[in-house]
């Protein structure tokens, strides 16, 4: 558990600026023309964000990004090993199928555990100052609290089927390749 949490946290911290730029560039076209950032490219965003918001602006929404990755890794790694053992006992002659099914379970659990944090992260990364000069969200807990107040608890899991379809294949490919490599190396 500690290793999966640490790996998820460190990896996402390093990748946070790229994730922020991706979220902003994807969401820019949905904003009214006067609120768009109009980044010309990734390089333009890498230059403008520190110039306009300070270097720490590249890590806006970084806390939720790290928490999301940690919860994703925790759900993914802990559920995979347990599922793999149970499926292998149920079908000892079909190890490849047990890996596949275990990776499906792991992907679904990882997506379910991390989606509330992913939603909060995205909202924080897309936010802009309101007319009063205040940001709409203070931190991850404020973001999640406002989401619950507006949409109910299920609002934290809006888009779960789509998110599962995005996360599960990544998890499945990762684990199946990992198992094949372990088999080759042992």
Query: Rounded mean pLDDT of 123-148?
Result: 89
**Rounded Cα distance, 50 and 38, in Å:** 15
Long-range contacts (CB closer than 8 Å, 24 or more residues apart) made by 11-14: 11/69, 12/65, 12/66, 12/68, 12/69, 12/70, 13/59, 13/62, 13/65, 13/66
Cα(5)–Cα(114) distance, integer angstroms: 12
Q: What is the pLDDT of residue 31?
A: 84
For 54-71, write each residue's pLDDT tens digit: 999 999 878 888 998 999
Instruction: List CB contacts of 49: < 8 A, sequence separation 6 or more.
Output: 17, 20, 21, 57, 58
- What domains, with CATH codes, occur in the chain? 2-185 (1.50.40.10)
Mean pLDDT, the chain, as a whole number? Answer: 92
Q: What are phi and psi of 47, to 5 degrees?
A: -80, -45
Residue 121: its pLDDT value, please?
Answer: 84
Predicted TM-score of the model (pTM): 0.79
Torsion of CA 107, 108, 111, 115, to 10 degrees: 180
What are the helix (H) ranges across 28-55? Answer: 42-53
Q: Using one digit for the tens of pLDDT, what is the confidence trace for 63-106?
A: 888 998 999 999 999 999 999 999 999 999 999 999 999 999 99
Tens of pLDDT, residue by residue over 7-53, are 999 999 999 999 899 989 998 888 888 889 999 999 999 999 999 99
């Amino acid at each position: 558990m500690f290793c999966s949490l640490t790996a998820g946290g460190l990896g996402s911290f390093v990748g946070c600026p790229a994730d922020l730029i991706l979220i902003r560039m994807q969401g820019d076209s949905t904003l009214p023309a006067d609120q768009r950032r109009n980044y010309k490219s990734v390089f333009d965003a890498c230059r403008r964000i520190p110039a306009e918001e300070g270097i720490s602006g590249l890590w806006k929404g970084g806390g939720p990004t790290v928490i999301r990755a940690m919860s994703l890794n925790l759900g993914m790694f802990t559920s995979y090993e347990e599922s793999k053992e149970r499926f292998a006992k149920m079908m000892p002659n079909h190890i490849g199928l047990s890996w596949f099914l275990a990776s499906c379970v792991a992907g679904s659990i990882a997506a379910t555990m991390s989606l509330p944090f992913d939603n909060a992260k995205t909202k924080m990364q897309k936010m802009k100052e309101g007319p009063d000069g205040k940001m709409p969200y203070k931190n991850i807990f404020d973001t999640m609290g406002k989401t619950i107040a507006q949409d109910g608890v299920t609002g934290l899991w809006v888009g779960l089927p789509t998110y599962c379809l995005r996360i599960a294949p990544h998890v499945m490919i990762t684990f199946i390749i990992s198992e094949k490599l372990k088999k080759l190396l042992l």
